[in-house]
Amino acid sequence: MAWEEKNDSLYRCFTFKDFSEAFAFMTRVALIAEKQNHHPTWQNTWNKVEMWLNTHDKGNTVTDMDRKLAAAIDKLVPATA
């Protein structure tokens, strides 16, 4: 599944083998987000991670910052996640 732009956010749901894989993914995303100083809104339930990206200081809209973070996140996961 690719990122969807809806409700002024980029949205994607990632599914992993188990909680450990999902949490490890979130840790890798956190390191990238911190480097970019741009942080997702996310939710984790067992093997799923849902993520919303928008730029809060630009009126909660999708900006190039969100697209850049989404592209970096995509590089962390296999195409099947």
Give the pLDDT confidence of 28-53 residue by residue, as tens digits.
999 999 999 999 999 999 999 999 99
Residue 58 has pLDDT above 80, yes or no: yes
**Residue 53: inside a domain, yes or no?**
yes
Tokens of 29: 């995303």
Contact 41, 10 (CB under 8 A): no
Give the structural domain span for 31: 4-74
Residue 65 lies in a domain: yes
Residues 74 and 62 sit within 8 Å (Cβ to Cβ)? no
Averaged over 7-24, what is the pLDDT?
96
- How far is C-alpha 20 from the geometric centre of its chain's CA atoms? 17
Decide: 28 and 41 in contact? Cβ < 8 Å: no
pTM: 0.89
CATH number of 31's domain: 3.30.1360.20
